[in-house]
Structure 1
């Protein structure tokens, strides 16, 4: 098996929790990325009765780098009073917390630690606002040469004083991920109706999972200065094909074939999530009951011209291969829904022999997961997408549903900015 230490120890996902996910500017608006991280990591350790003395590593990530919190994991540890816990941060855009889990697993495999916590957080409500170039230069000069700096400040216009709005765009193309989603939607012949179907199914599946108590069981209450936040705030149980069809595309006109709308794209979201990892030996020693083994993982990069958001199609075959499995072995599959059309395009690519042969050097396509095993409790379109927290949110959701359905193998796949992909295979304990 791919992730197996030299001592023969498998790596377990013991348990995990997340905060409620709320829209940017919503109920979690007063919580910073650090606040959210401290809340979720502290609660997870408390529930499992883990003292800082047994936690060998804390690995956290945030996709939107905040200069005010440059060391998210270490500052989280200090805020919790875990002064001696090794802690560091990592980033892989939307796959950030999948990356932190893999990094922590590496440490456990090497024997550097036996128990680790991994996860991520994002506060889109509290993004660090950058000054304009002119305002930034004037501020820097003011610190060095006050007289010249003051003169520069006096020459600034009102426009120079307004911080540029943060844009989730790819530097190498200048296009937003929504615009890149429209590119692969067109390439793979994804219709607006198909994208809307995926979005509606995501909301209805998530709404059912909430009604039946599955998602609430994974979600902690968060105390904020404005009150207690207990529930996800994005899922719409009353959505329908008729309702979403009324919205106009955002990045490309309907006349030009645009498909991405506010209804079939993941919203800007605040939230955090984390999991506890442990070796088999540590589970026995500390009385921990694992839920899943990490069977394999894969992180990939590819040329932007091949499709910026096709990361799942590149990463999943490699993760399956490392696990010694095929798509036919997978009983549940969770794919990150940055955009519903992006999910559809990846499903089409996963099923294409021509693509597998020409672009990936494989004899045939790995095949796509069927709709009845895909995002059965909803995905990012419905639940939300705090960039740094989505990876561990999916792991938590997937492993719990694997136990509920008695499914042996589950897989997840994530597209990530920077033309990257991530995939992981879990085995039910």
Structure 2
């Protein structure tokens, strides 16, 4: 794609020929909506791994009510609530896997430290995983692997991110000097090192907000991607408005049953709902200036996901184990795939690659999917992926496929909003996507859901979940 981008937007725009995005949830971009036939997906694990249920703390904008909490404290709440909600005693949980992206240095294995704070038994092993924005997807699929291998049965997987307080390091020069000072044996040696300090030593190193391989921020990549696919500013703003409107409706209707209240010291009462959902107007969004590529970029603070604090957790196990415990799982975890592309020019295009691969692995067509839950990093990223999925030329040129997979129908797509509105605590989002997929299947009487997300490094995930026949209904 680099060559196409280098010569401007004309090639992609003239070749893709995709209808513009719509702001409402009821119209389709490409694939005609039709009732999918009842199909079955072959279980590859031999265990019929099920998603019993998932929880998450309210997702809050960074710097608000969670500002004084450490990540393990947020994670503790999710770990407490998943056993409380499912009724599983903590001592039955055999293994815990937790994702995080910006690691707090005081908790080198946040899965273990959060579990201990939550009161899980000392003999419950736990480990931490990271894969940028899909870290809790990795936690879930790692759990699937452990169950399939027979190593464990009852597993809690989740993720946490606290952007209100990120580790900030001394400069490399200062760190080197401090380490040498620690080893100095005499006062004279220490004074000599002290005398070598220069103003530049005090410049801190902030956590990287840019792609390591390219040095470019994800916002810049989102702007370039939107330009390459001819996604206009208005289309992005319209999609962002759609996300906030749908999230607001879902919140008002009580659909976010995965949200559990959190008691935060110094905050009156309980924190009970996401605080980033804001229904605005096209006129208000149009006034915002570009956030990354100035002055002509199209990504703004309103059509990009915001820095978020939050934690999530879910309970997974073999179907037979769930039955023996009297549980009613919500969904089967049927299949998954991870993909990676060029992190320079296709950083955010992973859904376009993951969707056809995971559908093929599961033996399904796009038309079989009743519920789509797709991570919204940027509105432009979502719309570019929809155009890529709806392009034979893109499939043939970049994916080695004979034809397109087709863009999802919008009346099945992120109907409860997404990361643009609900928020995106990096490592916690994967469980949120899975919980919403399972809960939407129940409310919308569907059979299959597809979850997909992009991540830093040009990586991504695709997952298929299927509604369980014993899934409890929402009254």
Taking structure 2 as the reference length, the TM-score comes to 0.86
CA distance in 2, matches of 1:2, 1:391: 23
| Per-residue CA distance 1:394-427 (angstroms, 9 max, x = gap) | 1111111110010111111100001101111111
Cross-structure match for 1:182: 223
Cross-structure match for 1:223: 263
Cross-structure match for 1:48: 86
Cross-structure match for 2:235: 194
Query: Which has more radius of gyration?
Result: 2
Question: 117, 125, 136: which one pairs with 1:97?
Answer: 136
- CA positional deviation for 1:155: 4.1
| Per-residue CA distance 1:295-322 (angstroms, 9 max, x = gap) | 2111111122441111111111111111
Matched, 1:122 2:168: no
Cross-structure match for 2:315: 276
Q: Secondary structure at the match of 2:50?
A: strand
CA distance in 2, matches of 1:260, 1:179: 8
Matched, 1:66 2:100: no
Cross-structure match for 1:332: 371
Asked if the contact 2:303–2:379 (Cα under 8 Å) also holds between the matched residues in 1, the reply is: yes
CA distance in 1, matches of 2:191, 2:111: 38
- CA positional deviation for 1:23: 1.1
Matched, 1:316 2:355: yes
Q: In the comparison of the two structures, how many residue pairs are matched?
A: 423
- CA positional deviation for 1:54: 1.9
Asked if the contact 1:17–1:274 (Cα under 8 Å) also holds between the matched residues in 2, the reply is: yes
CA distance in 2, matches of 1:103, 1:111: 13
Cross-structure match for 1:249: 290
Question: 278, 283, 300: which one pairs with 1:236?
Answer: 278
CA distance in 2, matches of 1:149, 1:205: 61
Output aligned runs, 1:203-214, within 5 Å.
203-214=244-255
Q: Secondary structure at the match of 1:124?
A: coil
Matched, 1:33 2:71: yes
| Per-residue CA distance 1:156-209 (angstroms, 9 max, x = gap) | 345532423333211110001111111211111111111111111000000001
Q: Secondary structure at the match of 1:293?
A: strand
- CA positional deviation for 1:82: 2.0
Tell me: CA distance 1:316–1:347, structure 2 relative to 1, closer, same or farther (3 Å).
same
Matched, 1:354 2:396: no
Tell me: CA distance 1:145–1:2, structure 2 relative to 1, closer, same or farther (3 Å).
farther
Cross-structure match for 2:9: none
- CA positional deviation for 1:142: 1.8
Matched, 1:165 2:194: no
CA distance in 1, matches of 2:190, 2:427: 37
Q: Secondary structure at the match of 1:392?
A: helix
- CA positional deviation for 1:2: 5.4
CA distance in 2, matches of 1:208, 1:153: 60
Asked if the contact 2:214–2:344 (Cα under 8 Å) also holds between the matched residues in 1, the reply is: no
CA distance in 1, matches of 2:385, 2:134: 16
Matched, 1:423 2:462: yes
| Per-residue CA distance 1:2-27 (angstroms, 9 max, x = gap) | 55323xx2111000110011111111
Question: 172, 175, 178: which one pairs with 1:136?
Answer: 175
Asked if the contact 2:135–2:427 (Cα under 8 Å) also holds between the matched residues in 1, the reply is: yes
CA distance in 2, matches of 1:143, 1:49: 51
Asked if the contact 2:95–2:126 (Cα under 8 Å) also holds between the matched residues in 1, the reply is: yes
| Per-residue CA distance 1:314-363 (angstroms, 9 max, x = gap) | 11111111111111111111111111101111111111111111211111
CA distance in 2, matches of 1:287, 1:427: 20
Consecutive unaligned residues of structure 1, counting only runs of 5 or more, are: none
CA distance in 1, matches of 2:349, 2:191: 49
| Per-residue CA distance 1:121-140 (angstroms, 9 max, x = gap) | 00111211111122212221
Cross-structure match for 1:412: 451
CA distance in 1, matches of 2:190, 2:304: 44
Taking structure 1 as the reference length, the TM-score comes to 0.95
Q: Secondary structure at the match of 2:276?
A: coil
CA distance in 1, matches of 2:385, 2:194: 50
Matched, 1:20 2:58: yes
Report the structure, 1 or 2, having the larger helix content. Answer: 1
- CA positional deviation for 1:47: 2.0
Cross-structure match for 2:432: 393
Asked if the contact 1:68–1:128 (Cα under 8 Å) also holds between the matched residues in 2, the reply is: no
